[in-house]
């Protein structure tokens, strides 16, 4: 299979224009670390952003960084860290989970709109993404957004491209707003709560003024007690105060124990990367719901499936691990995740299963029509990753 | 007398006015349909009062179903629709045209559900921004985006303009706080976008419709995130000998990892005018002023303000006033919050809304003064310093012939300057009609054509708020533009 690796935007535009002329489907890839997510797609050629690298703008005092799409996430994070800053949405590293190698890129991260535990406080990847350059399916270079964080000039195509998994346009450059790294991060752990009590504790903490930046629950498994995690961060004096306040607030749930900072950081990395499900060969689903429905969904799933669960985002994000057999629990999960707006995505499964089940959550007919027309508005010949998210999109 | 063009009204529609009104009357209760000239006059402009056009009729539906019926009717009849929240747009986003009806959301103003455990509120979209915070304040919660017009402006309008406010450095703007919307498409289809989870399946349509300025559909309900109020908040006021020093101080604060909840800048003309009006105790001997506010417990606030003062000290502030009480905080904010009223008392003004990279602040302020001087006009600058959102107020006298045109010319030059230094035309007010013809400064024809192709997915015939955002004469880019809408050229896309 041909892999095109353009060295600049113009070369990429030429490749796309040619593919459009011949209606040749293109796979779109950065580091290839998320290639095994989504519906399996066959295409004659692949378009890689690996030749488009380099940080193009970094102004620490303006809290903004821009990089070409093929720049490694690691390089961006290193550059920010050298100035005491970071991407606030806590980008996950899903390589171990997805069993892939290579370097995640900022383009791939944006196309997948992946966000870690801090999403509850600092927003998602799509909230930090303030500007893009991209090439549409006609081979035209299009820009949207910019380098300033308040911008309502014209339609916000940035949001559309975030999380579009390469199906609308080929990203060539992304611009993020960034935040200072906190002086200290600290973690409080509550022991032995069942799912419902755990989510109640997380809700109590998130509804407090104590600026919780992480709220996760790891249910009991294999003889290990359940752990409910809360994180707060900021200036050291604030963190001390908030930890004490949270412990007092959470007395009815056991008050909790403060972890040492290193152990706490490791636990949050595990939650971010869904580490507990890394090594098994199971299929992994990602369910998004409101926290108050989380425990109910989990209980219903546990009745019909042999599954394990992890909760993040205060209970609103549920990772589900099920045996990679049959439909990998698709029917059972679709039967349980039914509230409009809630959704379940099969993130990890053998290609054979992803080819036969609906990977991304079905969307209502009128929204599907809009999505198809939006696809058409960017990519009239349907060359970018056709069908990776939905049939016809 | 004014310089922004409006499309020529469609005479065929004007001729059918009676039939159109009759059609609408069959769809909504009588008290929801406004046809008399006296009553329509209240809807002929918004907060960009220099422009006004009398709409064909005004419809104020009381339900999503009525909105759907009206839109489906208008699509069928080819009648243009200008959606309206409270009409507080400073960019003319809600100004009607003679051949359009106004579709207002003001009767849809109820809180539908509040869920403190999930920290969400479901509201009808015509509710005012402030009413949401008021509904949840007894439990200590609030809705974060706080535009200056929050007493009057609606959530529907906030979504359409992606409104911000003074506190968005910490809490974000509308798009960061909205998780679900009920929207009516032009053909009357009611769609639920998002829900009450933190993200949604498929393309981010919620992100697309936020800031779409009434061109993609009409919002009737919304689910927003509500947040717990901080335990307390207190500002410090600094006066500096120059704009440059104030700008350097902002840079140093952010460089030190401090993200205050608000970081407001005022220049000397703004300080002078606000002080004369509000008697807030602002220093009159300084060139520039910063208001920096932090949140938390009393002890946290003391500690954070001490750090901020230590940093500010490096820039030789001429005035340092740390608020010690609620009364002192209120006084510090009083001047800033009454800025627009204070300006309005001494002059007419155009409120600009460009955003710039904050590092360009001293240069941009110098150039703004030069631009206004060259037109013989005065300008006062108020500025969300943390995020680079500028609000230069260009002062003029409506009674002097030619002054408004001069002010508009100066405003346009200021916005071009914002784009030139790497910023954008509008941070939180929207494009509306005001900045429509400047869009080509920020975007090239390819960028605009891509936006218009997406727009055409929702409204191929340009019936929804059609005279806004996109320059009037660039609307059908030659290559690949659908002749009769996106549907007609739809191909089967390979699966």
The per-residue pLDDT for range A144-179, each reduced to its tens digit, is 999 999 999 999 999 999 999 999 999 999 999 999
What value does the mean pLDDT take over residues B381-386?
89
pLDDT of amino acid B225: 98
Cβ under 8 Å to A: B residues 55-94: none
Q: Is the pLDDT of residue B488 over 70?
A: no
* Helix, strand, coil distribution of chain A in percent, nearest 5: 35, 25, 40
CA distance B315 to B308: 12
pLDDT > 70 in chain A, percent: 100
pLDDT > 90 in chain A, percent: 91
pTM listed for this prediction? 0.95
What token pair was written down for A375?
């696809």
Strand partners, A203: none
Summarised one tens digit per residue, pLDDT across range B433-466 is: 999 999 999 999 999 999 999 999 999 999 999 9
Residues from chain A contacting residue B191 (CB–CB below 8 Å) = 364, 366-367, 370
What value does the mean pLDDT take over residues B453-480?
85
Summarised one tens digit per residue, pLDDT across range A211-270 is: 999 999 999 998 899 999 999 999 999 999 999 999 999 999 998 999 989 999 999 999
pLDDT of amino acid B64: 98
pLDDT of amino acid B251: 87
pLDDT > 70 in chain B, percent: 95
Residues from chain A contacting residue B251 (CB–CB below 8 Å) = 61
All domains of chain A in start order, with CATH: 2-180 (3.30.465.10), 184-272 (3.30.70.3450), 275-356 (3.30.70.920)
- Is A168 an 8 Å CB contact of chain B? yes
What average pLDDT is seen over chain B? 92
CA distance A258 to A187: 6
CA distance B181 to A138: 32
What token pair was written down for A238?
């604030």
Confidence of residue B481 (pLDDT cuts 50, 70, 90): very low
- Is A126 an 8 Å CB contact of chain B? yes
CB atoms within 10 A of CB B39: 11
Inter-chain touch A159–B206, beta carbons under 8 Å: yes
Q: Is the pLDDT of residue B495 over 70?
A: no
All domains of chain B in start order, with CATH: 11-104 (3.30.43.10), 111-228 (3.30.465.10), 233-339 (3.30.70.2190), 347-438 (3.30.70.2740), 439-480 (no CATH)
What value does the mean pLDDT take over residues B213-236?
97
Residues from chain A contacting residue B445 (CB–CB below 8 Å) = none
Which one, of A88, A66, A61, lies nearest residue A76 by Cα?
A66
What value does the mean pLDDT take over residues B384-388?
88
What value does the mean pLDDT take over residues A311-340?
97
Packing angle of the helix pair B339-346, B326-337 (nearest 10 deg): 40
Are the beta carbons of B79 and B190 closer than 8 angstroms? no
Q: Is the pLDDT of residue B482 over 50?
A: no
Secondary structure element (H or E) that encloses residue A353, with its range? helix A351-356
Q: Is the pLDDT of residue B475 over 90?
A: no
Residues from chain B contacting residue A200 (CB–CB below 8 Å) = 117
Nearest CA in chain B to A385: B495
What value does the mean pLDDT take over residues B219-224?
98
ipTM of this complex prediction, to 2 decimal places: 0.97
CA distances from B325 to A358, B142, B234, B261, B294 (A): 58, 22, 8, 18, 13
Packing angle of the helix pair A291-304, A195-206 (nearest 10 deg): 160
pLDDT of amino acid B493: 35
Are the beta carbons of A17 and A31 closer than 8 angstroms? no
Which one, of A99, A96, A104, lies nearest residue A73 by Cα?
A104
Cβ under 8 Å to A: B residues 441-460: 442-443, 446-448, 450-451, 453-458
Q: Is the pLDDT of residue B2 over 70?
A: no
Summarised one tens digit per residue, pLDDT across range A20-75 is: 999 999 999 998 898 888 888 888 899 999 999 999 999 999 999 999 999 999 99
CA distance B178 to B163: 11
Q: Cα angle vertex B90, ends B95, B61, to 5°?
A: 45
What's the DSSP call for residue A210?
S
What's the DSSP call for residue A361?
P
CA distance B253 to B294: 12
Packing angle of the helix pair A365-378, B445-458 (nearest 10 deg): 160
Secondary structure element (H or E) that encloses residue A301, with its range? helix A291-304
Q: Is the pLDDT of residue B494 over 70?
A: no
- Is A208 an 8 Å CB contact of chain B? yes
pLDDT of amino acid B148: 86
CA distance A120 to A103: 26
**What distance in Å separates residue A185's CA from the closest CA in chain B?**
14
What average pLDDT is seen over chain A? 95
pLDDT of amino acid B476: 63
CA distance B205 to B202: 8
The set of residues, in sequence order, having a beta carbon less than 8 Å from that of A203 and lying 6+ positions away, is: A291, A292, A314, A315, B117, B118, B119
What value does the mean pLDDT take over residues B87-109?
96
Inter-chain touch B197–A341, beta carbons under 8 Å: yes
Summarised one tens digit per residue, pLDDT across range A103-144 is: 999 999 999 999 999 999 999 999 999 999 999 999 999 999
pLDDT of amino acid B479: 44
Nearest CA in chain A to B168: A150
What token pair was written down for A369?
């029509």
pLDDT of amino acid B487: 37
The set of residues, in sequence order, having a beta carbon less than 8 Å from that of B65 and lying 6+ positions away, is: none
Which one, of A296, A243, A199, lies nearest residue B117 by Cα?
A199
Confidence of residue A331 (pLDDT cuts 50, 70, 90): very high
Are the beta carbons of A369 and A299 closer than 8 angstroms? no
The set of residues, in sequence order, having a beta carbon less than 8 Å from that of B100 and lying 6+ positions away, is: B55, B56, B79, B80, B81, B82, B466
Inter-chain touch A156–B430, beta carbons under 8 Å: no
- Is A248 an 8 Å CB contact of chain B? no
Secondary structure element (H or E) that encloses residue A234, with its range? strand A227-234
What's the DSSP call for residue A390?
S
Q: Is the pLDDT of residue B159 over 90?
A: yes
Summarised one tens digit per residue, pLDDT across range B7-22 is: 999 999 999 999 999 9
Inter-chain touch A375–B493, beta carbons under 8 Å: yes
**What distance in Å separates residue A223's CA from the closest CA in chain B?**
30
């Amino acid at each position: 299979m041909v892999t095109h690796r353009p060295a600049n935007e113009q070369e990429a535009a030429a490749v796309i224009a040619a593919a459009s002329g011949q209606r040749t489907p293109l796979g779109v890839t950065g580091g290839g670390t998320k290639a095994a997510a989504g519906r399996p797609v066959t295409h004659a050629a692949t378009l890689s952003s690996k030749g488009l690298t380099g940080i193009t703008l970094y102004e620490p005092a303006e809290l903004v960084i821009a990089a070409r799409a093929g720049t490694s996430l690691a390089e961006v994070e290193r550059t920010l860290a050298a100035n005491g800053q970071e991407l606030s949405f806590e980008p996950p590293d899903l390589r171990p989970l997805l069993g892939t190698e290579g370097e995640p890129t900022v383009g791939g991260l944006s196309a997948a709109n992946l966000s870690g535990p801090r999403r509850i406080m600092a927003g998602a990847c799509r909230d930090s993404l303030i500007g893009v350059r991209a090439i549409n399916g006609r081979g035209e270079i299009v820009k949207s957004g910019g380098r300033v964080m308040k911008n309502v000039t014209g339609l916000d195509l940035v949001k559309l491209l975030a999380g579009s998994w390469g199906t609308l346009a080929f990203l060539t450059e992304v611009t993020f707003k960034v935040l200072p790294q906190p002086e200290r991060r600290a973690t409080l752990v509550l022991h032995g709560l069942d799912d419902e009590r755990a989510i109640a504790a997380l809700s109590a903490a998130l509804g407090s003024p104590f600026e919780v930046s992480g709220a996760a629950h790891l249910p009991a498994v294999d003889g290990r007690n359940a752990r409910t995690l809360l994180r707060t961060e900021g200036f050291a004096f604030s963190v001390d105060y908030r930890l004490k306040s949270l412990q007092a607030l959470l007395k009815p749930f056991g008050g909790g124990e403060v972890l040492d900072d290193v152990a706490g950081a490791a636990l949050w990395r595990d939650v971010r990367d869904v580490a507990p499900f890394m090594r098994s060969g199971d299929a992994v689903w990602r369910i998004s719901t409101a926290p108050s429905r989380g425990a109910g969904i989990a209980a219903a799933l546990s009745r019909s499936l042999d599954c394990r669960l992890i909760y993040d985002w205060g209970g609103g994000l549920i990772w589900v691990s099920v045996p990679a057999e049959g439909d990998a629990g698709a029917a059972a999960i679709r039967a349980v995740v039914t509230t409009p707006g809630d959704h379940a995505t099969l993130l990890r499964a053998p290609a054979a299963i992803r080819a036969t089940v609906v990977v991304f959550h079905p969307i209502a007919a009128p929204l599907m029509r809009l999505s198809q027309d939006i696809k058409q508005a960017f990519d009239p010949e349907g060359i970018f990753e056709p069908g990776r998210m939905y049939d016809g999109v | 007398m004014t310089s922004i063009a409006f499309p020529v009204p469609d005479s065929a529609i004007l001729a059918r006015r009676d039939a159109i009104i009759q059609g609408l009357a069959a769809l909504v209760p009588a008290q929801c349909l406004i046809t008399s000239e006296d009553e329509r006059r209240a809807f002929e402009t918004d907060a960009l009062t220099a422009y006004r056009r009398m709409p064909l009729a005004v419809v104020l539906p009381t339900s999503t179903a009525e909105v759907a019926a009206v839109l489906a009717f208008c699509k069928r009849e080819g009648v243009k629709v200008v959606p309206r929240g409270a009409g507080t747009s400073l960019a003319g986003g809600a100004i009607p045209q003679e051949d359009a009806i106004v579709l207002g959301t003001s009767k849809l103003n109820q809180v539908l559900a509040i869920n403190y455990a999930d920290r969400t509120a479901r509201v009808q979209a015509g509710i005012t921004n402030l009413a949401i915070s008021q509904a949840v304040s007894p439990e200590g919660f609030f809705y974060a985006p706080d535009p200056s017009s929050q007493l009057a402006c609606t959530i529907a309008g906030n979504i359409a303009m992606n409104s911000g406010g003074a506190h968005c450095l910490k809490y974000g703007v509308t798009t960061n706080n909205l998780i679900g919307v009920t929207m009516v498409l032009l053909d009357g289809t009611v769609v639920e976008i998002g829900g009450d989870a933190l993200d949604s399946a498929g393309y981010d349509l919620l992100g697309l419709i936020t800031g779409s300025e009434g061109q993609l559909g009409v919002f009737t309900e919304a689910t927003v995130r509500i947040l717990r109020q901080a335990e307390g908040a207190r500002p410090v006021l600094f006066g500096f000998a120059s704009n440059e020093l104030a700008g350097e101080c902002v840079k140093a604060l952010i460089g030190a990892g401090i993200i205050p909840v608000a970081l407001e800048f005022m220049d000397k003309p703004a300080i002078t005018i606000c002080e004369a009006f509000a008697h807030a105790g602002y220093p009159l001997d300084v060139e520039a002023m910063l208001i920096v506010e932090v949140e938390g417990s009393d002890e946290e606030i003391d500690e954070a303000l001490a750090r901020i003062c230590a940093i500010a000290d490096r820039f030789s502030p001429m005035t340092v006033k740390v608020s010690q009480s609620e009364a002192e905080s209120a006084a510090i904010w009083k001047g800033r919050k009454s800025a627009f009223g204070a300006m309005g008392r001494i002059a007419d003004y155009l409120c600009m809304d460009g955003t710039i990279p904050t590092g360009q602040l001293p240069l941009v302020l110098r150039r703004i003064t030069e631009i206004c001087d060259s037109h013989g006009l005065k300008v006062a600058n108020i500025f969300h310093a943390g995020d680079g959102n500028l609000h230069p107020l260009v002062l003029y006298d409506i009674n002097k012939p030619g002054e408004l045109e001069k002010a508009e010319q100066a405003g346009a030059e200021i916005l071009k300057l914002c784009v030139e230094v790497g910023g954008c035309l509008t941070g939180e007010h929207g494009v509306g009609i005001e900045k429509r013809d400047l869009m080509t400064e920020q975007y090239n024809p390819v960028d605009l054509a891509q936006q218009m192709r997406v727009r055409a997915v929702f409204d191929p015939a340009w019936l929804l708020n059609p005279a806004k955002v996109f320059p009037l004469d660039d609307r059908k880019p030659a290559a690949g533009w659908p002749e009769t809408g996106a549907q007609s050229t739809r191909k089967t896309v390979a699966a």
